[in-house]
Amino acid sequence: MLYSINRYTIILGLLLLAACRTPQTARVNKDLKLPETFQHHSRDSGSMADVNWKSFFSDTTLQSLIQTGLENNPGLGMALQRIRSAQTQLLLARNARLPMLEAMLGGGVTKFGKYTIDGVGNFDTNLSPNISKDQRIPVVTPDLWMGFRSSWEMDIWGRLNDKKKAAFSRLLASEKERQWLVTQLVAQIAQLYYELLSLDTELDIVEKNKRLQEDALNVIRIQKTGGRATELAVKQFEAQLYSTSSYLIRVKQALVETENGLNLLLGRFPQPITRKKQLFDQQLAVDRRTGLPSGLLLRRPDIQAATLQLLSADREIAAARKSFLPAFTIAPYVAFNSFNLAQWINPASVAYGFAGGLAAPVLNRNQLKASLEQAAASEGEAWHGYRQTVMQAFQEVETSLSAIGNHSSIHELKKKEATALDEAVGSARELYLTGYASYLEVITAQKSYLEAQLESVATYRSVLLAQVDLYRSLGGGWQ
């Protein structure tokens, strides 16, 4: 008999050990080597991203718009709610490590049959001379219960602590995501503001050119009346004026669309946006320090958020592995428990108990394996998301640095081109009036001058936008 018991005990122990074995799962190889320097910049530990956005943008109108956006943008409001949700998840994870305590109030009645164990036992008890009248058990037996009971899973392996750490990392990640949203919002507001100033400048240029073309058309009409110009010349000048007028309407429509887009970022309905300065009044930043590539990991909130998401996924895998280990739970209780209503709330009716045990998974191991595989897949996804975020950050910095240099050079050339063409327009008109140039040369000169002016505006705008994008891509704007 003893041999049989020992044999069953050994078999049960082996089953428990097998149930506790943690299966292996494929993990991603986390290896990412960063470049030592940026290609288009010298080695410098400082960065323009360390500058507060109020210092980076000197235009007071732009500062006011950014402040309005930070206060009213719906996207930031949604980000705050995501942080609130993450805080709640962390609170749940923390509370899971604490004992559960419940207050219980209950009751019921039972009629035991004569040939049941309880029925025979109660009948025999009532015949005992050792009990009082209050202790006699009625045929229909009440069961009254009022007290407290608790249950506590003791985190001996650290599984619940890993879940808490994962939730805490997600909370920190949600805050970093909010900071990244602030960075993007500041950059988007600044870029749309520069777009508005650019369109304002384009509008002035096109209106001035339209007036010049109207004057030229009047001159050519007078010359036609005097027989010095043909109807073809008049129609060519009219066609150029129509083209300029239609472009003027497109600029006005672009102004409306850009203004409405900026109002949306500011969290308000469409309304006029006051601009005090012109595009060429905006100063280019002298500070273009990028810092070291390793510093980019610490300055960009989206990279920090991706890092924290990766840490959270790692803790989730650790918790999933520990789910295969036995869970030790204790369950004490204390209560007033009686079958006699008159004696229910009585010190003599106090009952208490304590139970504890180990529980290891046996039949639900496949479910736990699936949870482990899911956690491993989430970790792999988080790792590739981190790699993509880091590589995109470096790509944005390099592109912005290159854009600032190239567009600055193009702008200087376009300014010289516009100056030369301005003189060419005056010369073409004088030569045409004296008969040394054709009307086509005047039209060509006017068209080229307008295009050069617009391209000069576009290239200066591109420099400003690239400058803002560099500030954003380095992680500036959320401070």
Give pLDDT, residue 8: 52
Q: Residue type for 335, please? A: A
Percent of residues, the chain, with pLDDT higher than 70: 92
Query: Which residues are 142's β-sheet partners?
Result: 109
Contacts of 230 (CB under 8 A, 6+ apart): 224
In the chain, CATH 1.20.1600.10 covers 23-97+157-325+363-473
Q: What is the mean pLDDT of residues 315-336?
A: 91
Backbone angles phi, psi at 150, to 5 degrees: -130, 155
CA 14 to chain centre: 49
Tell me the pLDDT tens digit for each residue of 448-476: 999 999 999 999 999 999 999 999 999 98
What is the pTM (predicted TM-score) of this model?
0.84
Q: What is the mean pLDDT of residues 337-341?
A: 89
Please return the burial class of 45, using the count of CB atoms within 10 Å of its CB with bins 0-12, 13-18 and 19+: exposed
Asked if residues 294 and 141 have their Cβ atoms less than 8 Å apart, the reply is: no
Tell me the pLDDT tens digit for each residue of 42-51: 566 678 888 9
Asked if residues 191 and 400 have their Cβ atoms less than 8 Å apart, the reply is: no
* Domain 23-97+157-325+363-473 in CATH 1.20.1600.10: yes
Asked if residues 53 and 476 have their Cβ atoms less than 8 Å apart, the reply is: yes
Q: Which two tokens stand for residue 146?
A: 């009022």
Per-residue pLDDT band for 2 (boundaries 50, 70, 90) equals very low
Q: What is the mean pLDDT of residues 382-402?
A: 93
Tell me the pLDDT tens digit for each residue of 161-176: 999 999 999 999 999 9
- Residue 3, pLDDT > 50, answer no
Return the DSSP state at 49.
Answer: G
Residues 322, 178: Cα–Cα separation, whole Å: 33
Give pLDDT, residue 47: 84
Give pLDDT, residue 49: 86
Mean pLDDT for all residues in the chain: 88
Q: What is the mean pLDDT of residues 314-343?
A: 90
CB atoms within 10 A of CB 189: 25
Residues 303, 311: Cα–Cα separation, whole Å: 12
Report which of 303, 349, 302, 358 is spatially closest to residue 329, judged by C-alpha positions.
358
